[in-house]
């Protein structure tokens, strides 16, 4: 059962992910409408800081708020429509990604507690990026009937931005623990 | 917080939320069985008519969906080149149709009503520890936190700029997160106190 404190922290991170969607997104000229967003940063942070279970719940809560009509998906998108679009797989993947990010981070910390940055970074790469793509790419394939390999080509445009975000997330988490 | 809800009352607004959601789910399953873009076109035309029947807010909404439309078309062109144009056309039309219909539901259903419809559906999850009324509280907290967090971020940025001409931004993020987390403790405490009093 979630304590009140858990609930408030989960809501906070859901709001954090929302805020990252309200910041104007970058549009790289060659990506043609594909948003390079800061939101996956929020997803990774939720997993790293809250841990797997509460991190996933934060993402779930965020998606619920989006579904109900709040325009907090990057680019001012929101509502049920986004769940029928081609990027729906990534949205679902965020839930698993936050969980995996948190779980892998905790597991790695257990084995090498001094290597905080490295643990966070690997957790972001495996959980924050790989897991999300394992949901996102099939999602594109299912929604558009592209084959998996073509969908992978299409989805790979997000990857450079996500690597940058993972570096930032790992760095933030390292500094955060030193402070609190 | 701004929501996507269109406040003009239209015929779609008068339909109950559960009906609209039910239709949405049914249609999304039904179109899986329709093949060929020519067969899907009438449905898309109907959806467009419904959007336009909302009047000017409907047109406005179409403009807001521009980003998504661009993405869908880009994927469609990509698919046309690597697979077939027929497949691409039917895929694009399917997505457009569902996105438009789902969006119609969103803009004609206030968040409160959506919450009211979804919450009872979640009662089967109670044994797992998901209490529906706590969900309503959680949603309210998120809505409350978003402007709070943005204001906090602006305040920190201003305070930093007042003290220094440089802008090493990543450092600000750390104190921002730390302060936000401390806030949650305060809020959680006051919430628990209020719950204890009302018992």
Mean pLDDT score of chain B, rounded to an integer? 82
The answer, yes or no, to whether residue A112 has pLDDT greater than 90, is no
- pLDDT bucket at A122, cuts 50 / 70 / 90: very high
Window from A47-56, B118-127, B133-142 with minimum mean pLDDT: B118-127
pLDDT of res. B130: 66
In this prediction, residues B143-172 reach a mean pLDDT of: 81
pLDDT of res. A160: 84
Q: Do A84 and B99 touch (CB under 8 A)?
A: yes
Q: Do A179 and B175 touch (CB under 8 A)?
A: yes
pLDDT of res. A29: 46
The pair of structure tokens assigned to B12 is 């779609």
CA distance A153 to chain B (A): 10
pLDDT of res. B50: 87
Mean pLDDT score of chain A, rounded to an integer? 85
The answer, yes or no, to whether residue B176 has pLDDT greater than 70, is yes
Work out the number of other CB atoms within 10 angstroms of the CB of residue A153. 15
Between CA A63 and CA A57 the distance in angstroms is: 10
Interface A:B, Cβ pairs < 8 A: 196
Phi and psi angles of residue A80, each rounded to the nearest 5 degrees, phi first: -70, -25
How long is chain A?
Answer: 180
Whether the CB-CB separation of A72 and A79 falls below 8 Å is answered with no
Whether the CB-CB separation of A139 and B75 falls below 8 Å is answered with no
CA distance B188 to chain A (A): 5
Which residues of chain A does B178 touch, with a Cβ-Cβ cutoff of 8 Å? 176, 179-180
Q: Do A144 and B100 touch (CB under 8 A)?
A: no
Q: Do B102 and A83 touch (CB under 8 A)?
A: yes
For B49-94, what is each residue's pLDDT tens digit? 888 888 888 888 887 777 778 888 888 888 888 888 888 888 888 8
Q: Do B106 and A79 touch (CB under 8 A)?
A: yes
Which residues of chain A does B74 touch, with a Cβ-Cβ cutoff of 8 Å? 32-34
SS (HEC) of A94-134? HHHHHHHHHHHHHHHHHHCCCCHHHHHHHHHHHHHHHHHHH
| Strand stretches in A4-51, DSSP E | none
The answer, yes or no, to whether residue A28 has pLDDT greater than 60, is no
pLDDT of res. A107: 93
ipTM of the prediction: 0.86
Q: Do B129 and A4 touch (CB under 8 A)?
A: no
Whether the CB-CB separation of A81 and A130 falls below 8 Å is answered with no
The answer, yes or no, to whether residue A149 has pLDDT greater than 80, is yes
User: Which among A2, A3, A6, A7 is the top mutation candidate for probing chain B, defined by the most B β-carbons within 10 Å of its own β-carbon?
Assistant: A7
For A30-79, what is each residue's pLDDT tens digit? 444 555 678 899 999 999 999 999 999 999 999 999 988 888 888 778 88
pLDDT of res. A57: 93
pLDDT of res. A180: 47
What's the alpha-carbon Rg for chain A, to the nearest Å?
Answer: 16
Give B197 or B140, the one with higher predicted confidence.
B140
A101: nearest Cα among A120, A123, A118, A132: A123
Of B4, B70, B185, the CB nearest to A69: B4
CB-based contacts of A24, cutoff 8 Å, min separation 6: none
CB-based contacts of B113, cutoff 8 Å, min separation 6: B17
For B15-25, what is each residue's pLDDT tens digit? 888 888 888 88
B39: nearest Cα among B78, B79, B83, B97: B97
pLDDT of res. B40: 84
For B161-174, what is each residue's pLDDT tens digit? 788 777 666 677 88
pLDDT of res. A178: 60
Q: Do A15 and B185 touch (CB under 8 A)?
A: no
Between CA B136 and CA B119 the distance in angstroms is: 8
């Amino acid at each position: 059962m979630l304590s009140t404190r858990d609930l408030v922290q989960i809501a906070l991170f859901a709001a954090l992910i929302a805020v990252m969607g309200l910041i104007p997104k970058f549009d790289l000229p060659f990506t043609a409408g594909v948003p390079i967003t800061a939101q996956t940063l929020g997803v990774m942070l939720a997993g790293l800081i809250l841990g797997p279970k509460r991190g996933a719940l934060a993402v779930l809560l965020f998606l619920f708020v989006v579904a109900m009509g709040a325009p907090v998906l990057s680019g001012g998108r929101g509502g049920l429509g986004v769940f029928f679009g081609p990027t729906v797989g990534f949205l679902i993947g965020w839930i698993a990604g936050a969980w995996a990010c948190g779980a892998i981070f905790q597991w790695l910390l257990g084995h090498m507690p001094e290597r905080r940055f490295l643990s966070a970074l690997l957790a972001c790469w495996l959980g924050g990026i790989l897991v999300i793509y394992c949901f996102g790419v099939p999602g594109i394939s299912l929604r558009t009937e592209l084959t998996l390999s073509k969908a992978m080509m299409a989805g790979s445009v997000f990857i450079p931005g996500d690597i940058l975000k993972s570096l930032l997330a790992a760095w933030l988490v390292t500094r955060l623990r030193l402070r609190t | 917080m701004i929501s996507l809800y269109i406040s003009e009352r239209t015929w779609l607004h008068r339909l109950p939320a559960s009906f609209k959601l039910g239709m949405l789910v049914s249609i999304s399953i039904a179109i899986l069985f329709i093949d060929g873009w020519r067969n899907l076109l009438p449905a898309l035309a109907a959806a467009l008519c419904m959007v336009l029947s909302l009047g000017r807010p409907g047109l406005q909404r179409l403009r807001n969906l521009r980003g998504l439309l661009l993405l869908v078309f880009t994927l469609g062109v990509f698919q046309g080149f690597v697979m077939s144009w027929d497949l691409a056309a039917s895929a694009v039309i399917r997505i457009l149709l569902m996105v438009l219909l789902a969006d119609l539901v969103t803009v004609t259903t206030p968040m409160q009503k959506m919450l009211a419809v979804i919450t009872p559906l979640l009662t089967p999850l109670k044994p797992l520890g998901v209490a529906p009324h706590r969900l309503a509280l959680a949603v309210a907290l998120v809505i409350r936190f978003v402007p709070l967090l943005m204001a906090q971020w602006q305040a920190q940025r201003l305070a930093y700029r007042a003290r220094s001409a440089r802008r090493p931004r990543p450092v600000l993020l750390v104190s921002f997160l730390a302060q936000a987390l401390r806030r949650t403790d305060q809020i959680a405490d006051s919430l628990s106190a209020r719950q204890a009093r009302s018992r």
